[in-house]
Chains A and B, each alone.
Chain A
Amino acid sequence: MTEKIGVYICHCGSNIAGTVDCPEVSRWAAEALKARGVVVARDYKFMCSSLGQELIEKDIKELGLTRVVVGACSPHLHEPTFRGACGRAGLNPYLCEMVSLREQVSWVHTDKAAATAKAKAVVSGGVERVIHHEPLESLRVPIHPATLIVGGGIAGIQAALEIADSGTPVYLVEREPSIGGHMAQFDKTFPTLDCSACILTPKMVTVGAHPNITMLTYAEVTNVDGFVGNFAVTIRQKPRYVKADLCNGCAVCEEKCPKKVVDEVFEAGLGYRKVIYRPFAQAVPKYPVIDRENCTFFLKGTCKACEKFCPTGAIDFEQKEEIITIQVGNIILATGFDLFDARRIPQFGLGRLPNVFSSLEFERLCNAAGPTNGRVVMRDGVTTPRAVGIVHCVGSRDKHYNNYCSSICCMQSLKFAHLVEERTGATVYNFYIDMRTPAKGYDEFYQRLLEEGVIFIRGRVAEVTDVPQRPEEEGRLVVQVEDTLIGQQRRIPLDMVILSAGLEPRHDAKQVAKMFGISCSADGWYIEKHPKLDPIATMTEGIYIAGVAQGPKDIPASVAQGAAAAARVMGRIQQKEIALEPVRASIDETRCSGCRICNNMCPFNAILYHADKAVSEVNPALCQGCGTCVAACPAGAISGTVFSDQQVLSQLEGLLLRNLQPATV
């Protein structure tokens, strides 16, 4: 049974017609491809215009067209347009094929005869292909109204509040005992010099008290099953050894605990915490946790001071971990970042030279609730530095470590400069490559520091050393740097050096990404759907990303992304169901032998193996339509819509003009 094919060649003004003889291509299609089913071929100045689309719609209705081929610009621009025209005329939109005669013919070739001949071949390919198109319907799946947000930093908190305020339930899962993320560790935020905790903690409290938010802190996601609208997430709630319903947050346990350990996480190794602890005073939730690995009771069976002194009997050494499964419709990943470990650059001396500090260490130093109560002092805890150097771009913009710019370190370094000056009156040097101050108030902040007398030296620091070459360097740190603005090497004696280390993806970002079925870029940040136009969605429907997990950014941008992801989710929830593109693979059970070769072809976990029937199956809602399994199946048992074998091979025949010859082998 031959199809009735309509062919439409667009001039696109002179964009195509200037190089390709469009009337000739149209005439040729009507004649040479008549035997293949072409019943009408037209050419028109602007096929995408309403008049152009009407040509198609009219022909579908009057000529009973069963297939349409449009030769015009790139399908990435107007495929939806022409599919829409077909749909309006009563033809299934997927029975329309668009071929590029502009971006891939008229705009890239100069020889008109050759371009016209190629256009004919391209149209011929489209005609052969479209014969094998099938009518398809978008897949519609329902959306569960609950949302999971992974990561309780500022981006996750913002997203959680927005969604919860709109009236639907939110699960906020956070690995650490408290929400707050890195922002809770900072002292002041640039450029306003707002106290970080002061602007963060009210939001944290709101999250903790919100009726629509279920906070699961000290918990981790271990498994994700399902697909957009319908995720089943397994969460491991680690045991706090404190009963939340009995604990009143009095912190007597923390006071009485006899054992102190270095706090590597919140205090960045600069200070101590007890073994039963809250990471910081304003922790949300307020319940402490017992660090089992260092607890005397767990190690030796003695102490139990916390239990003795707890007024409500909330300590429970028998508490077990809990496995919780939740159903959600959408997931937002706001898992934040790790700081670049500056010890990887040995010439900067972090970890070797006592008065070299990482940026997080310095934040803790500055923080009024930190180990030095906000006094900026040297590692001895006493001495005030007289000269401080701040090194920008540590581990960033560096092909030996991370090639990218970490976005916030210049502003952070300027903030440090201001704080050091304000609190110590020391001479401050900032060693920078470029000064990146793009947002509101940022450059003004830089200008203010110039006025405050901070010394800016443009050059990469070669090394930080304690080996003196001149008498004034004795007993001090020396920064060796090329001052590129004066073209000279300089050695600057200092008391303290702060390394503005770059931001890196979390050490387990790749595993987390895999668990959720998304991917990381070469640098390790989660990949967004489109870097310009869709930074918070991912290729996997239903999984969104927000905050630094998507790439280095400051707090306002993290908040904006958290809110954007929330808006997207709320839109989905409101629609109650979602339509998925019907580009899918499916396995013919009668042909499948259960060889399982396809089983590890799918990064989206869309292929399941049924051991009872010894066949594999593709879940159409998880399938992203890449077609890799279709190509991998040795039995040819997997077929793909929209890009089936038959369609591609026919297009090939058409492109090579074999469809014009009598059938051969």
Chain B
Amino acid sequence: MTANGKPKFAMYWAAACGGCEIAVLNIHEKILDVDANFEVVFWPVAMDAKYKDVEAMPDQSITLCLLNGAIRNSENQHIAELLRRKAKILVAFGSCACEGGFPALSNLTTVEETLDTAFFSVSTDNPQKVLPQVSFAAAEGELVIPHMYSVVKSLDQVVPVDYYMPGCPPESEQIAAVVELVIKALKGEATLPPAGAVIGAGTSTVCDECKRARNEKKIKGFTRIQDFRPDPALCLLEQGILCNGPATRNGCTARCPTAGVPCIGCYGPTDGARDFGARLMSAVASVIDSNDPQEIERILDGIPDVVGSFYHTNLAGSLLKASKPTWEEEQHAAPHN
């Protein structure tokens, strides 16, 4: 609580794109409620603040902290640990914090390969083969920048998390609803769900909110929306388009299928799922309309990137988490911080 009695609010972006920040700002006039009910003490996109300011705060003094972005480098981890100490309620906000998000697809490769592609491949003019280093002895002293971890992690893999709010980004209406709930809870007018719950989302899947017509599924081939004219009124999966909707938690109003694109699963798995991709793979494979191994293989050729298609935003939260080469690089790397 600050001097003016308002509970403190913080929002931080780790390995993120900024979309979650925009989603929060997108709650339109409700942002005034945030301002009226909270004191924003730390939010890099919206205001200037230094890490040392946060370090100086008493533990558990930040009532609500929304942390978005995956844990990709030592700075992300450091701030995540810091904010965990300083926050009462820490929300893994957005798909990246919840299950690794898109950055987690980096778990299919190594940091070495990533840097190689970025700095040495044809898209970069780098004749001196300069590669960024974690530390550099400058005249003024040693400069240190965060180093990248081989394995991208979700927030709860580095600190305990109170709530999960999935989405890429979470729907602004859902954010507004959660903000309202927290404000009410602080006033004693509502109770928060049990710790560890997924908030701002439903208990079923995207299909529940999708208006497309659904029949029995019999897939003879996989294709993409640009390859033909999909029927806007019919289930995308039935038309051979790999929509993740059936395995994805609802709450987003099925925005993407409504707009004509397949769901990418950003709201993550349902309560009944231990591994998002495993559930989706099981479901999709089950409805392939063939009993012949060769034909099945031919149909599966229509999904060139299996991990990418089934774990768009959920790889860090999966059972295997990262590929073998990624793990091997992680195990040989210097210990973290």
- Judged by CB atoms under 8 Å, the answer to whether A and B touch is yes
**What is A's interface to B at a CB cutoff of 8 Å?**
588, 590-597, 599-601, 614, 628, 631-637, 639, 645, 649, 665
**A635 and B216: CB pair below 8 A?**
no
Of A588, A596, A635, the most chain B CB neighbours within 10 A belong to A635
Contact between B286 and A635, CB atoms less than 8 A apart: no
Q: Which chain A residues border B266 with CB–CB below 8 Å?
A: none
Instruction: Tell me how far the C-beta of B268 lies from the nearest C-beta in chain A, rounded to whole angstroms.
Output: 12
Of B203, B215, B247, which is within 8 A of A634 by CB?
B247
Are B157's CB and A665's CB within 8 A?
yes
Instruction: Report the minimal beta-carbon distance from A588 to chain B, rounded to whole angstroms.
Output: 8
B216, A596: Cβ atoms closer than 8 Å: yes
Contact A594 B217 (CB under 8 A): no
**Are B272 and A597 touching (Cβ within 8 A)?**
no
Q: How far apart are the CA atoms of A601 and B247 in the complex, in Å? A: 17
The answer to whether residues A634 and B204 also contact, given A591-B270, A593-B250, A596-B217 and a CB cut-off of 8 A, is no
Knowing A631-B282, A634-B283, A635-B279, the reply to whether A591 touches B246 (Cβ < 8 A) is no
A57 to B287, CA, bound (A): 47
A632 touches which one: B205, B218, B273, B282 (CB < 8 A)? B282
B residues near A614, Cβ cutoff 8 Å:
208
**In the complex, residue of chain B having the shortest beta-carbon distance to the beta carbon of A611:** B214
Given A590-B204, A592-B204, A600-B287, verify A634-B271 contact (CB < 8 Å): no
Residue of A nearest to B204 (CB): A593
Q: Are A591 and B216 in contact (CB under 8 A)?
A: no
Contact with A along B206-238 (1 / 0, CB 8 A): 111000001111100000000000000000010
If A590-B204, A632-B286, A637-B270 are given as contacts, then 20 extra A-B residue pairs at C-beta distance below 8 Å, sorted by A number, are: A588-B272, A590-B203, A591-B271, A593-B207, A595-B205, A595-B207, A595-B245, A595-B246, A596-B216, A599-B216, A600-B218, A601-B286, A631-B286, A632-B287, A634-B273, A635-B246, A635-B247, A635-B273, A635-B279, A637-B204
A595 touches B287 (CB 8 A): no
Q: How close is B212's CB to chain A, nearest CB, in angstroms? A: 11
Closest A residue to B289 using CB positions? A600
Contact with A along B261-294 (1 / 0, CB 8 A): 0000000011111100001101110110000000
A590, A591, A593, A631: residue with the most chain B Cβ atoms closer than 10 Å? A593
The residue in chain A whose Cβ has the minimal distance to the Cβ of B157 is A665
A634 to B250, CA, bound (A): 13
Residue on A with the closest CB to B269? Answer: A636
Is B272 within 8 A of A591, CB to CB?
A: yes
Q: What is the minimal beta-carbon distance from A616 to any residue of chain B, in angstroms?
A: 10
Q: Which of chain A's residues have a CB closer than 8 A to the CB of B284?
A: 634
Question: Could you tell me if A597 and B270 are in contact, using CB atoms closer than 8 angstroms?
Answer: no
Which residue from chain A places its CB closest to the CB of B245 in the assembled complex? A595
A628 to B206, CA, bound (A): 22
Residues of B within 8 A of A639 (CB): 272
- Chain A neighbourhood of B286, CB < 8 A: 597, 601, 628, 631-632
- CB of B283 within 8 A of CB of A632, answer yes
Q: Specify the chain B residue showing the minimal Cβ separation from A633.
A: B283
B208 to chain A, nearest CB (A): 4
Whether B272 and A635, one on each chain, are in contact in the complex, defined by CB atoms closer than 8 angstroms, is yes
> Does A600 lie within 8 Å of B216, measured CB to CB?
yes
Interface residues on B, range: 20 to 34
- B265 CB to nearest chain A CB (Å): 10
Partner of B217, one of A591, A597, A649: A597
- Interchain CB contact under 8 A, A594 and B207: yes
When the two chains form their complex, are residues B217 and A634 in contact, meaning their CB atoms are under 8 A apart? no
Distance in Å: Cβ of B276 to nearest Cβ of chain A? 9
Q: List 7 A-B contacts (CB under 8 A).
A: A591-B204, A593-B208, A595-B207, A595-B246, A600-B217, A600-B287, A634-B282
* Tally of contacts, chain A with chain B, CB under 8 A: 85
- Also in contact, A594 and B271, with CB within 8 A (given A628-B286, A632-B283, A634-B280): no
Q: Which residue of B lies closest to A607 (CB)?
A: B216
Known interface pairs A601-B286, A635-B279. Does A593 touch B206 (Cβ–Cβ under 8 Å)? yes
The residues of A that contact B280 with a CB separation of less than 8 Å are 634
**Nearest CB in chain A: distance from B99 CB, A:** 14
Closest CB pairs A-B (n = 10):
A636-B272, A634-B283, A634-B247, A593-B208, A634-B246, A593-B207, A595-B207, A632-B286, A593-B205, A595-B246
Q: Which residues of B contact A636 (CB under 8 A)?
A: 269-273, 279
Q: Of A592, A628, A632, which is in contact with the most chain B CB atoms at under 10 Å from its CB?
A: A632
Query: By CB atoms of chain B within 10 A, which of A590, A632, A634, A637 has the most?
Result: A634
Q: How far is the CB of B296 from chain A (nearest CB, A)?
A: 15
Complex CA–CA separation, A636 to B247 (angstroms): 8
* Complex interface residues of chain B between 174 and 223 (CB less than 8 A to chain A): 203-208, 214-218
CA distance A7 to B2 in the complex (A): 59
In the complex, A665→B287 CA distance in Å?
Answer: 32
Q: How far is the CB of A604 from chain B (nearest CB, A)?
A: 15
Contacts of B283 in A (CB 8 A): 595, 597, 632-634
Minimum CB–CB distance for A665 against chain B, Å: 7
A594 touches B214 (CB 8 A): yes
**Considering only CB atoms, which chain A residue lies closest to B287 in the complex?**
A597
Residues in chain A near residue B273, CB distance under 8 A: 634-636
> Which of B157, B204, B237 touches A635 (beta carbons < 8 Å)?
B204
* B243–chain A nearest beta-carbon distance, Å: 10
Q: Which residue of A lies closest to B273 (CB)?
A: A636
Chain B residues with Cβ below 8 Å from A595 are 205, 207, 214, 237, 245-246, 283
Residues of B78-103 at the interface with A, using a CB-CB cut-off of 8 Å, are none
List chain B residues, Cβ under 8 A from A591: 203-205, 270-272
**A residues near B245, Cβ cutoff 8 Å:** 595
Check B157–A594 contact: CB distance below 8 A: no
Return A514 CB to nearest CB of chain B, in Å.
Answer: 14
For residue A475, give the distance in angstroms from its CB to the closest CB of chain B: 51
* Chain B positions 97-138 with a Cβ under 8 Å from a chain A Cβ: none
**Alpha-carbon separation in the docked complex, A588 to B271 (Å):** 12
A665 CA / B216 CA spacing, docked (Å): 38
When distances are taken between beta carbons in the complex, the residues of chain A under 8 Å from B157 are 665
Q: How far is the CA of A636 from the CA of B271 in the complex (A)?
A: 8
- Give which listed residue, B214, B250, B271, B274, contacts A596 with CB less than 8 A: B214
Bound together, the chains give a CA A631 to CA B286 distance in angstroms of 9
B215, B247, B280, B284: residue with the most chain A Cβ atoms closer than 10 Å: B247
Which residue on chain B has the smallest CB distance to residue A588?
B272
Chain B residue nearest in CB terms to A636: B272
Report B137 CB to chain A, min CB distance, Å. Answer: 38
Which of A614, A637, A639, A665 neighbours the largest number of chain B CB atoms within 10 Å of its CB?
A637
Task: Report chain A residues within 8 Å CB of B206.
Answer: 593
Q: Is the CB of A593 within 8 A of B246?
A: yes
B205 touches A634 (CB 8 A): yes
CB distance from A585 to the nearest CB of B (A): 13
Query: Of residues B206, B245, B246, which shows the largest number of chain A Cβ atoms within 10 Å of its Cβ?
Result: B246
A649 to B319, CA, bound (A): 12
What's the nearest-Cβ distance from chain B to residue A162, in Å? Answer: 39
Once bound together, how far apart are the Cα atoms of A645 and B275, in whole Å? 12
Q: Which residue of B lies closest to A629 (CB)?
A: B286
**Cα–Cα distance between A18 and B216 once the two chains are bound (Å):** 54
Q: How far is the CA of A361 from the CA of B206 in the complex (A)?
A: 63
Q: A593-B207, A594-B208 are in contact. Are A635 and B217 (CB under 8 A)?
A: no
Question: From residue A387, how far is it (CB to closest CB) to chain B in Å?
Answer: 49
Q: Which residues of A contact B272 (CB under 8 A)?
A: 588, 591, 633, 635-637, 639
- B residues 307-326 near A (Cβ < 8 Å) are none
Q: Which residue of A lies closest to B270 (CB)?
A: A635
Give min CB distance, B160 to chain A, whole Å.
12
Output the nearest chain B residue to A637 by Cβ-Cβ distance. Answer: B272
A489, B26: Cα distance in complex, Å: 93
**Nearest chain A CB to B244's CB is how many angstroms away?**
8
Per the bound structure, the CA–CA distance linking A595 and B157 in Å amounts to 32
How far, in whole Å, are A595 and B213 apart by their CA atoms in the complex?
Answer: 10
Chain B residues contacting A633 (CB-CB under 8 Å) are 272, 279, 283
Contacts of B250 in A (CB 8 A): 593
Q: What's the Cα separation between A649 and B275 when bound, in Å? A: 13
Q: B282 to chain A: which residues have CB within 8 Å?
A: 631-632, 634
A597: nearest residue on chain B (CB-CB)? B283
State the CA gap A633–B282 with chains docked (Å).
8
